[in-house]
Amino acid sequence: MATRKEKQPIVGIWGLVGIFVLVIFIPAVKAEEPVDFTLFASCTFTMAAEDKDFRFSSFECTGVTQSNHENKVFDNLSTLKVGIGRREGEQSTIYSVSKYMDRDRDYVIMEFNESGPSRRLEGTWKILYGTGK
């Protein structure tokens, strides 16, 4: 009497793993579209402390964005940005939160952390919340 080894469950499991990886990977690839835009804004600054070597302030800006990329991500969005900034000598640190909203009233909330020489800030941003597409 001959016996047969069953390999179908292993193939089925690896098939499910492959589908799971594709389902997870494809949205991550789509989410990495380039974002490049210019913000045209009017800002109000409130100085909390200011002298020769130290400055601390808060700010609120409203404006509109213009996309600089062909995908038009972040094109023509209304913007509200609030934050605080500190400058010690030539080094600055800024923390801000922004709301970008389109005409359909869908919006995204983003957090920015920037630091460095006063005229050359660099930093990171992340999306905190969003609605819509």
At 73-122, the pLDDT tens digits run: 778 889 999 999 999 988 999 999 999 999 999 999 999 999 998 778 89
**Residue 102: inside a domain:** yes
Q: Domain of 80?
A: 34-130
CA triple 36-39-45, angle to 5 deg: 140
pLDDT tens by residue, 12-39: 444 444 444 444 444 444 456 677 778 8
**Residue 5: inside a domain:** no
Strands (E), 23-105: 37-50, 54-67, 78-88, 91-101
CA distances to 7, 14, 15 from 10, in Å: 6, 6, 8
Return d(Cα 117, Cα 48) in angstroms, integer. 21
As for how many domains the chain has, the answer is 1
**Residue 73: inside a domain:** yes
